[in-house]
C-alpha cells in the first residue's frame, strides 16, 4: 500500500494511533503536503460522509475520523504555512450558530494564515452577536463556515445582525462550507464564496 492509501485508511478508520506515523512517513518520503491533505485526508472524509449517508457509519465513527484528521492536520500545518510573512489583513473566522463542524474552517484559517493573514478564530456554534462584537473591534474580512443545510440560515442571520449594528460597510463577508454555493452567497448579500481552502485565500486577497 502506498503512503496516501495508509493515511486515507487511518482517517477512514479513525485510527488515531496510526495517523501520526503514517503522515510522518509520507512527509519523510517527500510526498507533497497538499497531496496528503487532498488525496489522503479530505478524500477519506468524503468517504466517511458517504458511509454515514448509507447508514454504515454513525456519529461516533464520524467523530473519531474527525479526530484522526485533526491529528494529521496538526502535523501538516508547518508544511502548509509559510512563516515570517507580514500580516496582509485581519480575518475573523467561525462556524455559524448551531453548527459544530470545524475541520473545514480550521483548514481555511490555516491556509489564510499561511498566506499572511492574521486570524481570529471564534470557534464553532458562534452566535451572530459574537461575530458582531469581533467586527466592531475592527477586522478586514469576516469568514463564515456552515456544513449543514439547517445552519445555512445562520449565515444570513449573522450578516443581518452586522447590518443592523451599522457595521456592514466596515467588513467584507466571505462564506463557505459543503452546502454553500456562490448563488446562495449572492442571494444573502455576502461578498464572496469559496468552495475550498485554496480558493478562500484567492478570494480573501481579492476582497482586500
Q: Which residues bind ligand B1M (CB under 6 A)?
A: 42, 45-46, 48-49, 52-53, 59, 62-63, 65-66, 93, 98-105, 107-108, 143-145, 147-150, 174-179, 194, 196-197, 200
We find the least distance from the C-beta atom of residue 109 to ligand B1M, in angstroms, to be 9
Q: Based on CB atoms, which residue is closest to ligand B1M, 126 or 144?
A: 144
Which class for 109: exposed (0-12), middle (13-18), buried (19 or more C-beta within 10 A)?
buried
| Inter-axis angle of helices 59-80 and 103-114, nearest 10 | 0
Residue 120 near residue 134, CB atoms below 8 Å: yes
We find the least distance from the C-beta atom of residue 51 to ligand B1M, in angstroms, to be 9
Q: Based on CB atoms, which residue is closest to ligand B1M, 60 or 84?
A: 60
Angle at 200 between CA 76 and CA 129, to 5 degrees: 100
| Inter-axis angle of helices 128-136 and 152-164, nearest 10 | 40
CA separation (Å) from 171 to 86, 111, 193? 20, 20, 15
Q: Based on CB atoms, which residue is closest to ligand B1M, 53 or 183?
A: 53
Residue 135 near residue 167, CB atoms below 8 Å: yes
We find the least distance from the C-beta atom of residue 200 to ligand B1M, in angstroms, to be 4
We find the least distance from the C-beta atom of residue 165 to ligand B1M, in angstroms, to be 20
Q: Based on CB atoms, which residue is closest to ligand B1M, 26 or 42?
A: 42
Q: Based on CB atoms, which residue is closest to ligand B1M, 15 or 28?
A: 15
Residue 144 near residue 155, CB atoms below 8 Å: yes
We find the least distance from the C-beta atom of residue 171 to ligand B1M, in angstroms, to be 12
Amino acid at each position: 500500500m502506498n503512503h496516501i492509501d495508509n493515511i486515507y485508511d487511518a482517517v477512514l478508520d479513525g485510527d488515531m494511533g496510526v495517523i501520526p506515523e503514517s503522515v510522518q512517513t509520507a512527509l519523510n518520503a517527500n510526498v507533497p503536503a497538499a497531496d496528503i491533505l487532498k488525496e489522503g485526508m479530505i478524500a477519506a472524509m468524503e468517504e466517511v460522509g458517504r458511509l454515514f449517508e448509507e447508514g454504515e457509519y454513525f456519529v461516533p465513527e464520524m467523530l473519531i475520523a474527525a479526530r484522526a484528521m485533526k491529528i494529521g492536520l496538526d502535523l501538516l500545518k508547518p508544511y502548509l504555512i509559510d512563516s515570517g510573512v507580514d500580516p496582509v489583513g485581519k480575518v475573523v473566522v467561525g462556524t455559524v450558530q448551531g453548527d459544530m463542524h470545524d475541520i473545514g474552517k480550521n483548514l481555511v484559517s490555516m491556509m489564510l494564515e499561511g498566506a499572511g493573514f492574521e486570524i481570529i478564530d471564534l470557534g464553532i456554534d458562534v452566535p451572530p452577536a459574537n461575530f458582531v462584537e469581533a467586527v466592531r473591534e475592527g477586522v478586514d474580512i469576516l469568514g463564515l463556515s456552515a456544513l449543514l443545510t439547517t445552519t445555512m440560515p445562520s449565515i444570513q442571520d449573522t450578516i443581518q445582525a452586522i447590518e443592523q449594528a451599522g457595521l456592514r460597510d466596515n467588513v467584507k463577508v466571505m462564506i463557505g462550507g459543503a452546502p454553500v454555493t456562490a448563488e446562495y452567497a449572492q442571494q444573502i448579500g455576502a461578498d464572496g464564496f469559496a468552495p475550498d481552502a485554496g480558493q478562500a485565500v484567492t478570494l480573501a486577497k481579492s476582497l482586500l
